[in-house]
Amino acid sequence: MPLLKDLIDVISPKKSEPAELPVEEGQEAQVGEKVLIRIENLNGMIDIDRLMKFLREGQILFLKTKDLQKRDLGAFQTSVQKWKRVCQQFGWDIAGTEEGYLVITPRFAQIVRE
């Protein structure tokens, strides 16, 4: 019966305690693990496959985009559109900053926009 009681506690939590359900994802970060934040340069479409590997491993990416914006605005826009499609497909979160960075997070992390 302890299992049933634990299940009932998760389904109907006390008002002061939020319910936490375990995430059963592939290689994403687990509770207690360190989350790596990687800063990389975005040089075009050729980098997307390489950088997706880091996100699948549960790392957060900060992509420097200023150089690509200055060098080739069309390639920059195409790369951002590709990132948006990929993030929507895998459930990742993406946001741009005024300083010329793209921030991309795996499913377990969410970017707060205010």
Residue 61 falls within a domain, yes or no? yes
Residue 7 falls within a domain, yes or no? no
Give 74-112 pLDDT, tens digit per residue: 998 998 999 899 888 888 989 988 888 889 998 888 888
Scored b (16 or more CB within 10 A) or e, 72-104 reads eeebbeebbeebeebbeeeebbbeeeeeebbbb
Domain extent at residue 66: 30-105
Per-residue confidence band for 69, with pLDDT thresholds at 50, 70 and 90: confident
Question: What gap in Å lies between CA 6 and CA 26, rounded to an integer?
Answer: 25
Question: What gap in Å lies between CA 104 and CA 51, rounded to an integer?
Answer: 10
Please state the domain count of the chain.
Answer: 1
Residue 11 falls within a domain, yes or no? no
Residue 9 falls within a domain, yes or no? no
Token code pair at residue 60: 């957060």
What is the domain-level CATH number for residue 79?
3.30.110.150
**pTM for this predicted structure:** 0.65
